[in-house]
Structure 1
Amino acid sequence: MVTTSLVEHAALVPVALLLVLAGCTGTGWLLLRRRPHDRRTPGALALLGLLPVVALTLTPTPRRAFETCAVQLSLPSPGSVELLANVALFVPAVFFAALATRRPVAVLLAAVGASAAVEAVQAALPALGRSCDTNDLAMNATGAALAAALAAGTTALAARRSHRRS
């Protein structure tokens, strides 16, 4: 259902990715400005950001997946719906986890490991109806890197602005 919706509105997928990035950044900026020492709120938002990851990657589907993994690497383009959706998938969880921990590199590495684990589970359990694909891992890692970089930048800017006001 989600994939069909995305394919039917392929032109909106890049816009949705930009909105996810902007929404996370704006929310993070406000959190850091209003509550600079609060780690619980971004932590809770990071956990909420994991819900779509689990729902879209590990819940069973009615179809049966291939027994092998697809090994390929494609670059995202505005029309590549699935690739862009995979870029966006880990963004909220990684962004807010990086704000909560103030360790964007560690969060990035954990996200790449989590994405690899998801692909391994999909490969090991074909009954889920999910296909293991190296493109998914690469695009999830790309989105996680974007989110970690945005979180680091947002944190640095908020700290700099706060320091200037003091």
Structure 2
Amino acid sequence: MQEPSVTGLVVVVVVLALASAFGWWRRHRDGRLRPVATLPVATRPDESAGATLPAALTDLGVRAGTVTLVQFSSPVCAPCRATRRVLDEVRAAVDGVHLVEVGVDEHLDLARELDIWRTPTVLVVDPAGRIAQRAAGVPAKDDLVAAVTPLLAGARR
């Protein structure tokens, strides 16, 4: 009978350590709202508000002057249903927040333009039509409320 290889044991330990580190990192990052650097995108006038919005957001139904939560989802995405419940709770808790749900299968070109790589992804759009924050994964209700409240205060001035 042969002795177990030390090299094989080391490989197994390293793979388990890397998988655990990746799982921790993913769990820590998933659903967290992050500020967004402004990307150069095509803009289009919003006649209803007299402002200029990114064309991709206008095509999705986002209006200037409102705080909007845009959810990108797909039909086979289980976390998308949980995200929709969270967004509905935020809309019920905070007056003035609008929701737009976008199917990436129907709007793949716009998803690419907005740099959407996984579902669910939530964009927090300020009243000026800029994407203020984004989250990939299911965001926490409290984090969303904290993100939209100052934007709503700016919209009411």
TM-score normalised according to structure 2 size: 0.28
More strand as a share of residues: 2
Asked which structure has the greater CA Rg, the reply is 2
